[in-house]
Amino acid sequence: MQQVWDNENARSLEFYGKLVDQTGQPVVGVKVVGNIMFQMGYAGTRDQIHETTSDANGLFEFSGLHGAMLGVIPSKPGYEYSYKYSHSNWIPRQVTIRSRG
Protein backbone atom coordinates (compact mmCIF):
# COMPACT_ATOMS: atom_id res chain seq x y z
CA MET A 1 0.00 0.00 0.00
CA GLN A 2 2.89 2.35 0.76
CA GLN A 3 3.97 2.21 -2.90
CA VAL A 4 0.47 3.35 -3.98
CA TRP A 5 0.63 6.34 -1.61
CA ASP A 6 4.16 7.20 -2.72
CA ASN A 7 3.06 7.13 -6.37
CA GLU A 8 0.11 9.42 -5.63
CA ASN A 9 2.33 11.88 -3.74
CA ALA A 10 4.82 11.97 -6.63
CA ARG A 11 2.11 12.95 -9.16
CA SER A 12 2.96 16.08 -11.14
CA LEU A 13 0.46 18.89 -10.48
CA GLU A 14 0.02 21.66 -13.03
CA PHE A 15 -2.93 24.07 -12.80
CA TYR A 16 -3.47 27.13 -14.97
CA GLY A 17 -6.48 29.41 -14.60
CA LYS A 18 -8.10 32.68 -15.54
CA LEU A 19 -10.21 34.61 -13.08
CA VAL A 20 -13.04 36.61 -14.65
CA ASP A 21 -15.90 38.64 -13.23
CA GLN A 22 -19.59 38.22 -14.02
CA THR A 23 -19.15 40.22 -17.24
CA GLY A 24 -16.23 38.09 -18.44
CA GLN A 25 -13.57 40.71 -17.65
CA PRO A 26 -10.30 39.54 -16.06
CA VAL A 27 -9.84 40.27 -12.35
CA VAL A 28 -6.38 41.54 -11.41
CA GLY A 29 -4.68 40.95 -8.06
CA VAL A 30 -6.71 38.00 -6.81
CA LYS A 31 -4.91 35.98 -4.14
CA VAL A 32 -5.06 32.31 -5.14
CA VAL A 33 -4.24 29.64 -2.57
CA GLY A 34 -3.23 26.21 -3.82
CA ASN A 35 -3.62 23.47 -1.23
CA ILE A 36 -1.67 20.31 -2.05
CA MET A 37 -2.74 17.15 -0.27
CA PHE A 38 -0.30 14.30 0.42
CA GLN A 39 -1.38 10.78 1.38
CA MET A 40 0.28 9.82 4.66
CA GLY A 41 -0.96 6.25 4.77
CA TYR A 42 -3.35 5.13 7.43
CA ALA A 43 -2.41 8.21 9.46
CA GLY A 44 -4.40 10.43 7.06
CA THR A 45 -3.18 13.30 4.94
CA ARG A 46 -0.83 16.28 5.11
CA ASP A 47 -1.36 19.62 3.36
CA GLN A 48 1.09 22.04 1.82
CA ILE A 49 0.01 25.59 0.94
CA HIS A 50 1.22 27.61 -2.07
CA GLU A 51 0.07 31.11 -2.99
CA THR A 52 0.08 33.22 -6.13
CA THR A 53 -1.73 36.30 -7.49
CA SER A 54 -3.60 36.80 -10.75
CA ASP A 55 -1.87 39.05 -13.28
CA ALA A 56 -3.19 41.92 -15.44
CA ASN A 57 -5.08 39.39 -17.61
CA GLY A 58 -6.57 37.50 -14.64
CA LEU A 59 -4.17 34.60 -15.25
CA PHE A 60 -2.49 32.52 -12.56
CA GLU A 61 -0.65 29.21 -12.42
CA PHE A 62 0.68 26.52 -10.15
CA SER A 63 3.39 24.51 -11.88
CA GLY A 64 6.27 22.25 -10.95
CA LEU A 65 4.41 20.92 -7.91
CA HIS A 66 3.89 17.33 -6.78
CA GLY A 67 1.28 15.70 -4.56
CA ALA A 68 -1.84 13.57 -4.53
CA MET A 69 -4.34 16.41 -5.18
CA LEU A 70 -4.51 20.18 -5.58
CA GLY A 71 -7.38 22.39 -4.47
CA VAL A 72 -7.56 26.03 -5.55
CA ILE A 73 -9.27 28.87 -3.66
CA PRO A 74 -9.32 32.48 -4.95
CA SER A 75 -10.03 35.49 -2.73
CA LYS A 76 -10.15 39.26 -3.09
CA PRO A 77 -11.90 41.78 -0.84
CA GLY A 78 -15.20 42.91 -2.37
CA TYR A 79 -15.62 39.74 -4.46
CA GLU A 80 -17.23 36.33 -4.03
CA TYR A 81 -16.50 33.30 -6.17
CA SER A 82 -18.33 30.36 -7.69
CA TYR A 83 -17.14 27.22 -9.48
CA LYS A 84 -18.30 25.39 -12.60
CA TYR A 85 -17.18 21.77 -12.40
CA SER A 86 -16.72 19.29 -15.19
CA HIS A 87 -18.99 16.29 -14.81
CA SER A 88 -16.15 13.80 -14.40
CA ASN A 89 -13.65 15.60 -12.19
CA TRP A 90 -13.61 17.44 -8.86
CA ILE A 91 -11.28 20.11 -10.31
CA PRO A 92 -13.17 23.23 -11.38
CA ARG A 93 -12.99 24.07 -15.08
CA GLN A 94 -14.01 27.69 -14.52
CA VAL A 95 -13.92 30.02 -11.52
CA THR A 96 -15.99 33.20 -11.70
CA ILE A 97 -15.36 36.13 -9.37
CA ARG A 98 -18.38 38.35 -8.76
CA SER A 99 -18.17 41.89 -7.45
CA ARG A 100 -20.27 42.43 -4.35
CA GLY A 101 -20.68 46.11 -5.09
What is the residue-averaged pLDDT of the chain? 83
Run of H or E residues at 52: strand 45-53
Whole-number pLDDT of residue 88: 47
Run of H or E residues at 98: strand 92-99
Res. 86: pLDDT tops 60: no
Secondary-structure percent of the chain, ordered helix, strand, coil, rounded to 5: 10, 55, 30
Separation between Cα atoms, residue 7 and residue 92, nearest integer Å: 23
Q: Which alpha helices (DSSP H) does the chain contain, by range?
A: 2-9
Least confident of 2-6, 12-16, 80-84, 86-90: 86-90
Structure pTM?
0.76
**Model confidence over 37-83: pLDDT tens digits?**
998 888 888 889 999 999 999 999 999 999 988 888 899 998 887 66
Q: List, in order of start, the domains of the chain with CATH numbers.
A: 2-99 (2.60.40.1120)
Res. 96: pLDDT tops 80: no
